[in-house]
A and B are shown apart, each in its own frame.
Chain A
Amino acid sequence: MAPRPPARSPLVRVVLVLASALTAWHLFASFLWIAPPSPLREVVPGEALRGYMLPMFGQSWSVFAPEPVNGSHRLLVRAVVLDGGRERTTEWVDATAAETSMIQDTLFPPRAGIQAGEVAGGLKGRFEKLSTDQQKVAGLDDIAPGWPERLAAQMRSLGEEEAVAAYLEQDRRATAYATQVALAVWGEGVQGVQYEVSRQNVVPFASRNDPDASPPARTTLQTGWRAPLVLPGQSQQAFRDVFLPAYERTGR
């Protein structure tokens, strides 16, 4: 016979059962949530799994899968500025290059260095979900106050409510970012901004050691000119203090 188990108080027994049951549920729920979606998820009724996992245990591990990221986004910004009483269109400024300079060749890259790329990637993804006619609307120039409302109304009249809402959010963010870049580089005389978003895939693996190989062609999209957009609370100085030195470092 095995030796008799040591005595446990009722309190310990109750906590043992409850805590073990909770852990068992947590393990099962985490397993279902982390594993690729499968019919096994059907054993948990309704929204119980989502309700338990979100937001505290929210996670997704399909990182770099099934295909890892294989390209970089670029965000260029230019502006119409008042220069001695006359309007002048500036050269393009590469905001991604400026920010990328913060994260390259360092062991400890700050998150600040991925913003332009994220803005560009977000906008491009949403733009591609629009219809061809809606994409044309995104390309119209409007540098008068109230442009966001006009842009929204024109796009909505062409249908696809969800895609439009998702795009407008990105357009607003990209314009607000481009405005900060323009104000940092050219100062207060900015009358309008335009940005160009593109993506370029990496040199294919097979040609990586060929010194003459060039990366595949860029896919580029340009939206129309927009009036500058500064969101509430935005500090132009806090933006400029970091962006400008990075931009000057990249020498463009």
Chain B
Amino acid sequence: MSGVVSVVRAVGLMLVELVRSGVAAAVRGIVAGARWGESWLLEGKKALYGIAVTRILLGTSAIGLLLTNFSTRLYAFGSGSLWNGEAEEPGSAFPQIWIFRAFHAVMADDLAYTALYLVLLALAVALALGWRFRLLHPVFFVLWVGFIEANDMLGDQGDNMFRIAALLLYFTDPVARWSLDARRRARRTRAESTERAQISSLLHNLALVALAAQVCFVYVSGALYKAGGDPWSAGYAVYNPLMTNRFGTWPALSELVTAWGPMVAIATWGSILVQLAFPFLLLTRPTRIVGLCAIGSFHLAIAVLMGLPWFSLAMIAVDSIFIRDRTWEAMTRGLRARFAAARAQSGSGRGRLTLRETARIRTE
């Protein structure tokens, strides 16, 4: 009898001990996780090259959109467009907020409108070059949102993505690499205090997290919304918009690329699968390469076939944060080496660099 009791006691004690050590391990795990998270956030800014590319491409997208619409600016946004009723009652909430009202206020004045348009263009150039970012980006942001939202009818979802990305960009440090600001910083000798550096890292990294989450949510929900539609599950959905006036900007090309059914099905299902899988593909290096190439081709196709180049470029801009600094550095080294080799080849009569010389430049 006592033998049974002692076994039961032993099992009971063992269970208590298991629970106790389990809880202790969980607490240790949480504490270690929190410490890891804390130092991830506070010590060092992540994806500095990636976010610099985001800045350059967002700026380029803004420049491109402004140049594309320059010759028709008065017709579509200015004094020629007031039949649209925007002057009487804005279609978007933004022109009703005073800081976003500049473009709306000068719609009827051709000279002032054009002047403001050129100021915005100059600010977009400054953004792409990374010149005086801390000072000028808020001005660019406020003017840009006011410009694009002054004609609600002509807007698309790309404008929303651009606005959100441009806002989050301000909390990051997108001029630490590949910018004019970075050159100026390099000349400055004053060191940042630890406290300041930690807070600056914190905001940078949190904004990166928000930006990464934003794109992942957008892709996955885009896939979920599509999955319920018959043309998508039947594998021919991309055909329809390509045949319309608005999204079939190259009618002959649209016919060509949709002529072979299997290609249409691959593009249709491929876009759903890539969007849905995107966050998971990011998790390991090989799948990340596949995911980024796939989403890049998806945007390239939208840019060319559907006439949405600047929207696509803005999306590619944000996707750039998923390429690691190490990769950007390697790519730059590779490009430099090739350029140096090409220059040596064309410049000196001696001819090509030897393989060893190329390799030396690449590792430098």
Contact = CB atoms under 8 A, between A and B. Distances in A.
Whether chains A and B associate is: yes
A118 B154 contact: yes
B316 to A, nearest CB: 15
Nearest to A69: B241
Contact of B87 (A35, A59, A115, A232): A232
A11 B64 CA distance: 42
Contacts of A67: 229-232, 237, 240
Contact of A112 (B76, B83, B202): B76
A62 to B, nearest CB: 4
A181 B206 CA distance: 51
B108 A180 contact: no
Contacts of B32: 2
A133 interface: no
A147 B69 CA distance: 35
A115 B209 CA distance: 37
Given A12-B198, A19-B203, A56-B167, A112 B82 contact: no
Interface string A51-82: 00011111111111111111111000000000
Contacts of A104: 245, 249-251
Interface string A85-116: 00000000000100010111111111110110
Given A8-B42, A56-B163, A108 B68 contact: yes
Interface stretch (B7-15, B177-185, B210-218, B328-336): B210-218
Contacts of A119: 153
B283 interface: no
B71 to A, nearest CB: 7
A208 interface: yes
Interface string B301-321: 000100101000000000000
Interface string B149-167: 0010110010011011001
Interface string B233-265: 000111111011111011100010011000010
A169 to B, nearest CB: 7
A249 to B, nearest CB: 14
B94 A109 contact: no
B93 interface: yes
Contact of B240 (A55, A102, A205): A205
A179 interface: yes
A190 B33 CA distance: 74
B153 A115 contact: yes
A63 B158 CA distance: 11
Nearest to B220: A35
A233 B160 contact: no
B110 to A, nearest CB: 7
16 contacts: A2-B32, A20-B206, A23-B210, A31-B213, A55-B94, A56-B163, A60-B157, A61-B225, A69-B247, A108-B64, A111-B151, A118-B153, A205-B264, A232-B82, A237-B80, A238-B74
B241 A70 contact: yes
B38 interface: yes
B157 A59 contact: yes
A198 interface: no
Contacts of A180: 80, 83
User: Nearest 10 A-B pairs (CB), nearest first?
Assistant: A238-B80, A66-B229, A235-B79, A233-B108, A202-B243, A176-B83, A65-B225, A112-B72, A242-B75, A70-B240
Interface string A1-31: 0100110110110011001100100110011
B92 interface: yes
B199 interface: yes
Interface string A182-220: 000000000000000000001101001100000000000
Given A23-B206, A61-B221, A70-B241, A110 B108 contact: no
A208 B258 contact: yes
A72 B283 CA distance: 41
A188 to B, nearest CB: 17
B39 interface: yes
A60 B307 CA distance: 20
A156 interface: no
B199 A12 contact: yes
A67 B225 CA distance: 9
Nearest to A102: B72
A55 B80 contact: no
A5 B39 contact: yes
B157 A61 contact: yes
A176 B83 CA distance: 5
B195 interface: yes
Contacts of B209: 23, 27
Interface string A230-249: 11111111110111000000
B286 interface: no
Contact of A58 (B79, B151, B160, B244): B160
A41 to B, nearest CB: 13
B222 interface: yes
Contact of B80 (A30, A64, A242): A242
A16 B38 contact: yes
Given A111-B151, A114-B246, 6 more contacts: A20-B206, A34-B218, A59-B160, A108-B64, A177-B83, A241-B80
